[in-house]
Chains A and B, each alone.
Chain A
């Protein structure tokens, strides 16, 4: 009971402030000119990105360079955490050996439910990323949803189940590099014909086979999806190495 007193004081303060401030704020009835510009131009208009989803067209077209640098921040964060967990070749092989306590895993119920849910998460994340130019969503959202699937497998089975089926750290890093490379290529292609970096229309076709793909937006979304999902997976695979194994490596290094 005693520890709820600060909470009640906090709530009363916030309610009081809100009651005091709210009547003094000006009411926003009309759209601001900037918002009106994007709403009018993202699909129709002269500066069109040919995408009905305004947020994605701002992220990857109008303010594309911002997102490119955001991606590079994420890239550096992943590289930093991989450096913290660096292992040499022999240690990496040894970290893949199953330890005794992981032989069984969780119960059958959790395993079967996970098997169904993982497939559903993969489908939902792909739809979030690949429909990012039509409906809310996009590369980062889809990629972080994709990273949940290997995470669930790590929890319900073990990280060894992932590695035995081919998704080890090297594979995740290769997928991530493919994503980053693809993004860089899509950003640089307009330079070949003397246009601006990261230009969308009219270099990339707005429609492919009758389907609206909004030029470069779908490529950016797909490659970001790969890069984010695989980057998170690599970090989780390293975090899931048991502490015991790491301590063994450290003790051996101290003895040598």
Chain B
């Protein structure tokens, strides 16, 4: 018997995994930052389902806001596309 919270946990974690993979292989760095922000939102929901609200509050602010902003500042000082 599968419970609904566990099913939601499975779905959010898979979304997080898919978007972290996309963030790694993406060559457009701004898009990659967007993917990493989506991954952070999915993991925040997963933390909430795992009953860790303290982590959620820190994780949402840091991983979606501050981390993405820092990376965008860094990208603005270099180039947008990753050249292999």
Give the number of residues in A that approach B within 8 Å (Cβ atoms): 26
State whether the Cβ of A151 lies closer than 8 Å to any Cβ in chain B: yes
Is A136 a contact of B54 with CB atoms below 8 Å?
yes
Is B69 a contact of A236 with CB atoms below 8 Å?
yes
Is A239 a contact of B73 with CB atoms below 8 Å?
yes
Interface stretch, picked from A102-110, A139-147, A161-169, A201-209, is: A139-147
Question: Knowing A148-B66, A151-B66 touch, does A3 contact B25 (C-beta < 8 A)?
Answer: yes
State whether the Cβ of B2 lies closer than 8 Å to any Cβ in chain A: no
Q: Mark B25-54, 1 if CB is under 8 A from A, else 0.
A: 100000000000000000000000000011
Give bound CA distance, A41 to B57, whole Å.
25
Classify chain B's interface size: 10 to 19
Determine the main DSSP class of A at the interface with B. helix
Which residues of chain A from 86 to 137 have a CB within 8 Å of any chain B CB? 128, 136-137
Which one of B14, B56, B66, B73 lies within 8 Å of A144 (CB-CB)?
B66
Interface contacts beyond A3-B25, A138-B54: sample of 15 additional A-B pairs, CB < 8 Å, sorted by A: A7-B18, A7-B21, A55-B54, A56-B54, A128-B57, A137-B54, A141-B54, A141-B57, A142-B57, A144-B65, A147-B65, A147-B66, A148-B65, A239-B70, A239-B73
For the complex of A and B, 4 pairs with smallest distance between CB atoms: A136-B53, A141-B57, A144-B61, A239-B73
29 pairs from A and B in contact (CB 8 Å cutoff):
A3-B25, A10-B17, A10-B21, A11-B14, A55-B54, A56-B54, A128-B57, A136-B53, A136-B57, A138-B54, A141-B61, A144-B58, A144-B61, A144-B62, A144-B65, A145-B57, A147-B61, A147-B66, A148-B65, A148-B66, A151-B65, A151-B69, A232-B66, A236-B69, A236-B73, A239-B70, A240-B73, A243-B76, A243-B77
